[in-house]
Chain A
Amino acid sequence: MAWLRDIDIWFADRIFVFSDQHRRYAIKLARQPEEAEELVQEAYARLFALDDWSSIANPHAFTMRIIRNLAIERFRRADIVRLDQSALLRAVDIADDDPTPDVVAMDRAELRQVATVMQDMPPRMREALYLRRIEGLPPAQVAERMNISVSTVETHLVKALRLLVKRLDRRETGAKAEHATSWEKKERQGQV
């Protein structure tokens, strides 16, 4: 997988695992899902412009701050987008020196989400994804097992991954709101 760069792995391990929190925070700020998604995507894009990404102690906190700064920029052009002023004004105490673990394993709820999306897929699509990813068969062998061409396998995989990306992005952001994250606790303590 030479096409994966170090920054891609860093992103997956240290930022994407918190994508739920990034979306939830962005929604708190922007109120509207489309604008929130723009904030998150813009913040992620900015990470890929960094030269010194590997020296960031807490990439998650760093990302949260980018989201906030982007929201403030938008707020200053207030007639363009609607942002929640009260959420913006709240002090955000992000502990930059509190490093995140190098790798955060996908938690059980997220794992279930992936499983649910896979379970809902059309059977042939799921089978292709299963054989390629969980059984780890090379594409040619997947094609052989399913009695289809490699390009059909590719089509199945493209549709499967598109579906996963869409469904996982739009998952219920309130699902995990019950248990406050350490980041949110810090935020609250900063308030008191």
Chain B
Amino acid sequence: MGEEGKAGASLSDRAVDWLVALDCGTADRAAFEAWRTADQRHAAAFAQAAATWRRTADPRLSVLLDQPAEAQPPATEPTPPPPAMLSRRAVAGGALAALVATAGAGAFLAWPRRAYAATAVGERRTLILPDGSHALLNTDTRVGWRFDDERDFWIERGEATLLVREAAKPFRLNSDPIDARLGAGKFNLRLEQESAQLLVLAGRAAAVYRGTLARTLAAGNALVVGGAGAQVSHFSPAAIAAATAWERGEIVFNGMRLDRALAEFNRYLPEKIVLQDADLAPTRLGGSFRIADPDGFLQALQQGFDIGHRQQGNQIRLFRRRAA
């Protein structure tokens, strides 16, 4: 490790050298122990390095690292090709491959086959993709990707936020029912049983609904697919904050009906909350709650709306509390 040759380096730097060498299994253990016991300042410097090192493994970091404010802003916002190029047939036929500039390629790691990742109910996870783009997966989500001549990313179920890095190779997001070609920026795709929505948080996307409706979306716009077909909606800052609250481990209700709010919360809960008294459903809720703290949510219901709860089997049932 050559620590003797680093006489000029600070004590803290030397402690870091030792720690990483130990972590990577390249340190001479006896030499390390000799260094550490030679001086209490060495021991203290090492313990501080180790304490900082431990902080880097905090599981909460994986969520924070994708915060929009901290995300690397795309250097430029390349305009995606006109939507006309993005017919489903063209995507399926690989015709887009012909459009890919090969110059400057080769910086990508080879991913010969599609790779997959998934989260369980209640889990969140950040993936670093081979090009340095990030994918943050929400609860109960399955995704796949293949990065070779192009950057292909599939969302099979659930919800993910993509932080797409600028690159010569196009980034394609594939799902049923929305496909999109993404520029550098930040995008959120959420799939549900009967609906889907692609929200552009930064950058631009050319989005296609079932190969028919093609739209270019700018930041703040979403392609929303529901029972009534597909349409482009503009999201207010409050709506964007609510749609991305999960990235911070939060869930935000802006005057949402209780039945819808429960559906939101239940996405994260192995044990679902259900309404025992159906007439509670129209109750409007506001406020933000920790996803990891359903008890806090239940307590707020009790205190704010006099809605009680009890465990029954693997369900939590809500009922209207009667005045005694």
Contacts and interface: CB of A to CB of B under 8 A. Distances in A.
B17 interface: yes
Contacts of B27: 3
Given A111-B64, A115-B64, A119-B65, A136 B57 contact: yes
B40 A3 contact: no
A44 B44 contact: yes
A165 B23 contact: no
Interface in B52-73: 52-62, 64-65, 67, 70-72
Given A3-B22, A106-B55, A114-B55, A134 B44 contact: no
A61 B48 CA distance: 18
Contacts of B40: 45-46, 48-49
A165 B64 contact: no
Contacts of A162: 12-13, 16
Interface string A96-134: 000000000010001110111011000100010111111
A154 B44 contact: no
Nearest to B126: A134
Interface stretch (A5-13, A28-36, A72-80): A5-13
B64 to A, nearest CB: 4
B62 A134 contact: yes
Contact of B51 (A12, A133, A150): A12
A54 interface: no
Given A44-B44, A130-B128, A158-B16, A165 B72 contact: no
Contacts of A112: 64
B32 to A, nearest CB: 7
| Chain B at the A interface: SS class | helix
B255 interface: no
A160 B52 CA distance: 11
B51 to A, nearest CB: 4
Given A106-B55, A119-B70, A134-B62, A41 B109 contact: no
Give chain B's interface residue range (CB within 8 Å of chain A): 35 or more
Contacts of A153: 24
A4 B59 CA distance: 20
A114 B60 CA distance: 11
Given A41-B41, A44-B48, A161 B128 contact: no
B50 interface: yes
A132 to B, nearest CB: 8
Contacts, number: 132
B24 A139 contact: yes
A134 B64 contact: no
Chain A interface size range: 35 or more
Nearest to A166: B12
Nearest to A3: B22
Interface in B1-49: 12-13, 16-17, 19-27, 29, 32, 39-41, 43-49
B132 interface: yes
A47 interface: yes
A176 B187 CA distance: 33
Contacts of B12: 162, 165-166
A61 B114 CA distance: 55
A161 B49 contact: yes
Contacts of A147: 109
B115 to A, nearest CB: 11
Interface in A126-156: 127, 129-134, 136, 139, 145-147, 150-151, 153-154
Most buried by B among A11, A119, A153, A161: A161
Nearest to A168: B52
Contacts of B16: 158, 161-162, 165
Interface of A: 1, 3-4, 7-8, 11-12, 16, 19, 41, 44-49, 106, 110-112, 114-116, 118-119, 123, 127, 129-134, 136, 139, 145-147, 150-151, 153-154, 157-158, 160-162, 164-166, 168
* Closest 6 A/B residue pairs (Cβ): A12-B51, A115-B64, A16-B51, A44-B44, A48-B43, A45-B40
Interface of B: 12-13, 16-17, 19-27, 29, 32, 39-41, 43-62, 64-65, 67, 70-72, 109, 126, 128, 132
Given A11-B51, A133-B53, 5 more contacts: A1-B23, A41-B45, A130-B65, A133-B57, A134-B59
9 contacts: A3-B29, A11-B51, A114-B61, A134-B61, A139-B23, A150-B26, A158-B17, A166-B12, A168-B55
